[in-house]
Amino acid sequence: MTRVHPANDATIAAAAARLAAGDLVAFPTETVYGLGADARNDHAVAAVYEAKGRPQFNPLIAHVADLSAAEEIAVFDDRAYALAQAYWPGPLTLVLPKKDQTLSKLATAGLETIGVRVPAHPVAQKLLRAFDGPVVAPSANASGRLSPTSAVHVDQSLGDKAGYILAGGRSAVGLESTIVDVSGETAYLLRAGAVTQDDIENLIGPVTPSLHAEGGDVRAPGQLLQHYAPCTALRLNAVDVAPDEALLAFGSARFMGVRGGGGFARDISGGRYMNLSENGDLTEAAANLFAMLHALDTVGATSIAVMPIPDTGLGVAINDRLRRAAGG
Ligand code: TXA
Ligand code: MG
Distance CA 320, CA 328 (A): 9
In the predicted structure, residue 317 carries a pLDDT above the cut 90? no
Query: Using a 6 Å cutoff on CB, does residue 59 contact ligand 1?
Result: yes
Would you say the C-alpha torsion 4, 24, 103, 211 has a positive or negative sign?
negative
Mean pLDDT of 131-139: 97
- Could you tell me the distance, in angstroms and rounded to a whole number, from the CA of residue 207 to the centre of ligand 2? 23
Mean pLDDT of 147-152: 91
Residue bearing the CA closest to ligand 1, atom 12 = 138
Question: What is the b/e burial string over 225-235, where b = at least 16 CB atoms within 10 angstroms of the residue's CB?
Answer: beebbbebebb
Query: Using a 6 Å cutoff on CB, does residue 60 contact ligand 1?
Result: yes
Query: Using a 6 Å cutoff on CB, does residue 95 contact ligand 1?
Result: yes
For the CA of 91, the nearest ligand: 1
Residues with CB under 5 A from ligand 2 (ion): 139
pTM of the model: 0.87
Question: What is the b/e burial string over 239-257, where b = at least 16 CB atoms within 10 angstroms of the residue's CB?
Answer: ebbbeebbbbbbbebeebe
Distance CA 85, CA 81 (A): 6
Which amino acid would we find at residue 302? T
Mean pLDDT of 38-58: 93
- Residue 289: closest CA among 317, 262, 258: 317
- Could you tell me the distance, in angstroms and rounded to a whole number, from the CA of residue 179 to the centre of ligand 1? 7
- List, for residues 170-191, the tens digit of each pLDDT value: 998 888 899 999 999 999 999 8
CB 31 within 8 Å of CB 140:
no
In the predicted structure, residue 328 carries a pLDDT above the cut 70? no
- E strand or H helix at 180, and its extent? strand 178-181
Distance CA 311, CA 323 (A): 12
Query: Using a 6 Å cutoff on CB, does residue 190 contact ligand 1?
Result: yes
Q: What is the DSSP string of 239-277?
A: SEE-TT-EEEE-S--TT-EETTT-S-GGG--TT-EEES-
Query: Using a 6 Å cutoff on CB, does residue 109 contact ligand 1?
Result: no
- E strand or H helix at 97, and its extent? strand 92-97
CB 47 within 8 Å of CB 164:
no
- Residue 138: closest CA among 110, 104, 176, 164: 176
Q: Which of 48, 58, 146, 227 to mutate to test the pocket of ligand 1 (most atoms within 8 A of CB)?
A: 58
- List, for residues 190-212, the tens digit of each pLDDT value: 988 889 899 999 999 999 988 76
Query: Using a 6 Å cutoff on CB, does residue 258 contact ligand 1?
Result: no
Confidence of residue 271 (pLDDT cuts 50, 70, 90): confident
Question: What's residue 259's pLDDT?
Answer: 63
Distance CA 112, CA 290 (A): 12
Mean pLDDT across the chain: 89
In the predicted structure, residue 222 carries a pLDDT above the cut 70? no
Question: What's residue 294's pLDDT?
Answer: 85
Query: Using a 6 Å cutoff on CB, does residue 193 contact ligand 1?
Result: no
Give the count of beta carbons closer than 10 Å to the beta carbon of residue 147. 20
Q: Which of 31, 61, 128, 195 to mutate to test the pocket of ligand 1 (most atoms within 8 A of CB)?
A: 61
CB 200 within 8 Å of CB 210:
no
